[in-house]
Amino acid sequence: MTRRAYLAVRAADLRSLADTGELPGDAYACVVAASDDEQDEYDAMAVAGEIAEERWGSVVVVVTQAAAGPDGEVTGPVALRDVAAIHVGDELAWYATQELDAVLEQIGA
């Protein structure tokens, strides 16, 4: 099953994604939207941002379309090619994967 998921990550793990092309399976907390509705997806992204801030002190969310289990939960490593976008900061600013180096510079990772 392929479904969009929102992964709360640490800045250091975003660096790993850039360096190795893969986000380790133990490097994130996964939040899945209740539906494909735009508001449900935004809510899932916001929850992932809150988790990242609570756990690691900064808001970094990776959006992926990686293969997921029956409940939509993503487990295991996530390849850079499966990342749809990156959101950072309190405003959850959107960045394309091509901007990963700029994001890392911005967040000091």
Report how far residue 67's alpha carbon sits from residue 5's, in angstroms, rounded to the nearest whole number.
Answer: 10
Residue 88 Cα distances to 40, 57, 60, 67, 70, angstroms? 19, 12, 5, 23, 28
The pLDDT, as a whole number, for residue 46 is: 97
What would the pLDDT profile of 64-88 be if each residue is shown by its tens digit? 976 666 666 788 899 999 999 999 9
What would the pLDDT profile of 10-57 be if each residue is shown by its tens digit? 988 999 999 999 999 889 999 988 888 899 999 999 999 999 999 999
Report how far residue 107's alpha carbon sits from residue 109's, in angstroms, rounded to the nearest whole number.
Answer: 6
Residues contacting residue 95 through CB under 8 Å, at least 6 positions apart: 85, 86, 87, 88, 102, 103
